[in-house]
Amino acid sequence: MTFIEGGVCAAAGFRAAGIHVGVKTNNVNKKDVALIVSDVPCSAAAVYTKNAVKAAPLLVSREHLKDGQAQSVLVNSGNANACAPEGEENARRSCRAAAKALGIDERDVIVASTGVIGQRLPVEKIEQGVEKLTPLLSTDGSHDAALAIMTTDTVKKEYALKTVIGGKTVHIGGIAKGSGMIHPNMGTMLCFLTTDCVISPEAAQSALLQAVQVSFNRISVDGDTSTNDMACLLANGLAGNMPITGPGDDYDAFLNALTQLCTKLAIDMAADGEGAKHLIICTVSGAKTEQDAETLAKSVISSTLTKAAIFGADANWGRVLCAMGYSGVEFDPDTVDVAFASAAGRIDVCRRGRGLDFDEDLAKKILTERDVTIDIHLEGGEASCTCWGCDITYDYIKINGDYRT
């Protein structure tokens, strides 16, 4: 398995583009609509937010994907089209515009939106923009598409890799956005994945669910699960491998590659949390089950007090134990060891649930690094899990205090 360039265009038969059409009114230099298309129909799969309030594009996309097939993705940023007037009709109008421009069935278009909730989508601008966007589709278009789906993101999230499945070289690529309102349950996170692997819709859906569970569902920025979260996968089969229809070696190889790709994108989301200065990596080992380890780690990375301590480079390990204690997982606090680590070194701060004398200057130096690891060990079993989060800063309040206005 090798990471390569190309994003969603790395797989054979995929093209993409992104431009500014006017959904974002505050900056004409920011792209706000992206289009991804396959030369041929694809097996398609998707996972959606568990928030009971779901944006109109998710409802339309879910309906379109009932047959397990799609050929294109149309995405806008700057407006979530959630709880908005004429939401579903405008989502359908967006699909119809893309379908007409591409010469495909509108039911083969996946539609997604991200941005401010509750405002009418300026669908007319999208309809006009698609006509300008379609001629720009190219195998080099992933970068522009990745930029066009960003809202408060400060960096684009774009990766691709290649691997060998059944003797054939298979490519998987992806772009994603997410910086705030990130606490996936499937943050405002969107992820679009493409592959030339031959895989059935059922196997693609199964693999996507498994990959999401151990990647996007193991990050948190601020504890808010968005109305618009979605991850989708298009597989056009142009790699020519033997069809993957269920469990087996080829399925495992595809799942492993997909998981690696999703994990890279997920970590970038956590690191790019709104206003964040630090990526927090929390590893829990010695738990009874992997689910216990995951719940404990997610509780720590989601703790506002823990996040504030990391921002201040304060080795306040008590906040870590506190977050573990209200996680709902049964464990013995008297068996907990905690250490902080980074590129500057490692320091043990708690052993068997009790504080240690440690060098505060060294601890501060360790916690000043961008990537900070909270290493937790229990004596309850053999299971472990790593989750990713970020610190909370003054800038998070600045960004979200006037997000709409």
Contact (Cβ atoms closer than 8 angstroms) between residue 176 and residue 157: yes
Which helix (DSSP H) or strand (DSSP E) does residue 283 occupy? strand 279-287
Angle 108-109-112 from CA coordinates, rounded to 5°: 150
Residue from 262, 230, 270, 246 nearest 389 by CA: 270
Active-site residue 188, yes or no?
yes
Residue from 198, 192, 186, 216 nearest 254 by CA: 198
Contact (Cβ atoms closer than 8 angstroms) between residue 345 and residue 369: no
User: What is the DSSP pairing of strand 337-342 with strand 14-19?
Assistant: unpaired
Torsion of CA 374, 378, 382, 386, to 10 degrees: -20
Which helix (DSSP H) or strand (DSSP E) does residue 321 occupy? helix 318-325
Contact (Cβ atoms closer than 8 angstroms) between residue 80 and residue 117: yes
Which residue among the candidates 49, 188, 194, 283 is catalytic per the annotation? 188
User: What is the DSSP pairing of strand 69-79 with strand 33-48?
Assistant: antiparallel
What is d(CA 102, CA 131) in angstroms, rounded to the nearest whole number?
9
Q: Which residue has the tokens 């694809």?
A: 42
Contact (Cβ atoms closer than 8 angstroms) between residue 108 and residue 99: yes
Q: Which residue has the tokens 């397990």?
A: 68
What is d(CA 195, CA 293) in angstroms, rounded to the nearest whole number?
32
Q: Alpha carbon of 370 to those of 200, 218, 276, 343, 386: distances in Å?
A: 41, 19, 10, 9, 17
What is d(CA 352, CA 347) in angstroms, rounded to the nearest whole number?
15
| Residues known to be catalytic | 188
